[in-house]
Amino acid sequence: MSVYAELADIPGVIAAGEYAYRGDRYNYKGQLNDEMARMASIMCRATTMGTHMQTEILCANSENCPFDPAHGWMVRGPQFSVCVVANVFCFLQNEAGLLNRVMQQMQDKLADVDEMI
Amino acid sequence: MSSLDKLMNLHGAAAAFEFSDSGELTNQRISDDSDLTTDALDLLAHVFVANIAIATMQARGWEKTTGQGGFYPVQGFTLIGLEWSAVGNGHRGVVLRNNACDFEAAYAALDS
Amino acid sequence: MIKHLLALDGVVVVCHFRDDGALVEGYGLLGDDMMVRLAKFAHDYKRMVQGNTDQFSMFTGMSGWTPPGGWIVRGAKATVCSVSNLVCFIDNEEASLNEVMQALTEASRY
């Protein structure tokens, strides 16, 4: 099973998906419709581009930069959070224990992905 | 105990810092065994401000377009590196080692 | 091909980058290493602006914004501006931003 499909099966996860760094392909599973998944992919791709540029600037003058390369990011709202590692995104409820569980799984499964394909 | 000292008590914390609305570093703690510098924290603070602004735009657009609330107002942004993560919210941020990273505890500490 | 842009008042650097961010050619008051960095930055910034413009267009439903033609970041004394795969670094006091953007647009069509 793909990483995003496994994430989508975790109770409390609203939906998960994967997007292409270039072009507009995407896959998803969960409580999103096709248009929402397309929008989520566009948003996640844009923020990932931004974080990659920012970490390169952050690390341009530092030999031991702790954030190079950027593996992902997360953003939190009052009810939901979005986690992104490599090209996989996950929308989840803010429930106790869930964020750490999802991030652990994403980092374990996607730790070796360091190229923007 | 100051709010930065509380953040430094998080497991795996390498640095804790405060910043202005525009992202300038105003106060910081850096652990003795960390390579982080005040310049790096200042840049990280700007990363937080930039990405929280972008995420706020996205949350606003998402809610208006889909009718699904729950993302706005944005209450934090985290940058995940290979070994370290930087968690930020409001005017404060903390750098944590990934293999010991309790994101929920970090957000709770930043909320307090 | 782009070197003539340096003749415009206030243009300090002009640089052409590839779609993967590699430097094609660069002229002006920057060392080789910094020229490569400027090309990479301009490429990354272009993609970021593209991403944000896509989102603006998506959320508002307005046409006419994508693909973006370029971007301008204005500082107190200097400005970086880009059209297509060209980027210029200019001195605010000496340069006419309109003139430089016009020249960049024309040069991007070569």
| Predicted complex ipTM exceeds 0.90 | no
A115 within domain boundaries: no
Cβ neighbours of C55 in B, within 8 Å: 57-58, 61
- For chain B, percent of residues with pLDDT exceeding 90: 82
Instruction: Specify the CATH number for the domain of residue A15.
Output: 3.30.450.30
A116 within domain boundaries: no
Q: What pLDDT score does A111 carry?
A: 79
What are the angstrom distances between the C-alpha of C24 and each of B3, C15, C20? 49, 8, 11
Domains in chain C: ranges and CATH: 3-107 (3.30.450.30)
Asked if the model's pLDDT at residue A101 lies above 80, the reply is yes
Q: How many domains does chain A have?
A: 1
Q: What pLDDT score does C99 carry?
A: 96
The verdict on a CB contact (< 8 Å) between A100 and B43 is no
CA atoms within 13 A on the CB side of A103: 26
**Mean model confidence pLDDT for chain A:** 90
A117 within domain boundaries: no
Instruction: State the Cα–Cα distance between residues B19 and A37, nearest whole angstrom.
Output: 34
Positive/negative CA dihedral, A63, C30, C19, B43: positive
How confident is the model over A94-116, as a mean pLDDT?
87
Domains in chain B: ranges and CATH: 3-111 (3.30.450.30)
- Alpha carbon of B58: minimum distance to chain C alpha carbons (Å): 8
A21 within domain boundaries: yes
Q: pLDDT tens across B22-46, in order?
A: 999 999 999 999 989 999 999 999 9
Cβ neighbours of B31 in A, within 8 Å: none
CB distance C58 to B65 below 8 Å:
yes
Q: pLDDT tens across A36-80, in order?
A: 999 999 999 999 989 988 888 888 767 777 787 789 999 999 999
Cβ neighbours of C47 in A, within 8 Å: 49, 53
Q: pLDDT tens across B53-62, in order?
A: 999 999 999 9
Residue A95 structural domain? 3-110
The verdict on a CB contact (< 8 Å) between C59 and B54 is no
- For chain A, percent of residues with pLDDT exceeding 70: 93
Q: Provide CB contacts within 8 A for C27, sequence distance 6+.
A: C2, C3, C5, C6, C13, C14, C15
Q: What pLDDT score does A115 carry?
A: 57
For chain C, the residues whose C-beta falls within 8 A of a C-beta of chain A are: 37, 40-41, 44-45, 47-48, 51-52, 54-55, 58
Cβ neighbours of C37 in A, within 8 Å: 60
Q: Which of the four pLDDT bands, split at 50, 70 and 90, describes residue B81?
A: confident
Choice among B76-80, B82-86, C32-36, C77-81 with the minimum mean pLDDT: B82-86
What are the angstrom distances between the C-alpha of A58 and each of A45, A87, A107, B38, C35? 20, 21, 22, 12, 18
